[in-house]
Amino acid sequence: MCTASEIHNKDPRFISFLDVLQFVKDAIPIISIGLRPIQQAFNYLLYLIAESDIDRPRRPRVNPRVVKVSGSKFKRKSAIHKEEIRSFENDIQIIQIA
């Protein structure tokens, strides 16, 4: 999209991503078969990309991007939890008794 917008003097923010994605999907078999010279097919693809304007103005972002902290009833894991030593002999005895 950047290359197409530079060659055709367009603003890349006003090119439709979904249209470009479809053009690229459609162009893969044509370019891989090699019916046309690759450079000619690539130039035509860039032309199609540059001409795929979005159909409505973009909405301005209202909310900033933030990460939501998940709520949990458990405490966060810290260094003291790594030092915890378990007695596997006692755990095995409990399992054998049951």
Q: Whole-model pTM?
A: 0.53
Q: What is the rounded distance in angstroms from the CA atom of residue 44 to the CA atom of residue 82?
A: 60
At 15 the three-state DSSP class reads: strand
Give mean pLDDT, residues 30-57. 82
Q: What is the rounded distance in angstroms from the CA atom of residue 13 to the CA atom of residue 7?
A: 15
Give mean pLDDT, residues 44-57. 87
Q: What is the pLDDT of residues 59-73, one digit of tens each?
A: 776 777 777 777 777
Q: What are the residue boundaries of the structural domains of the chain, listed by start?
A: 1-57
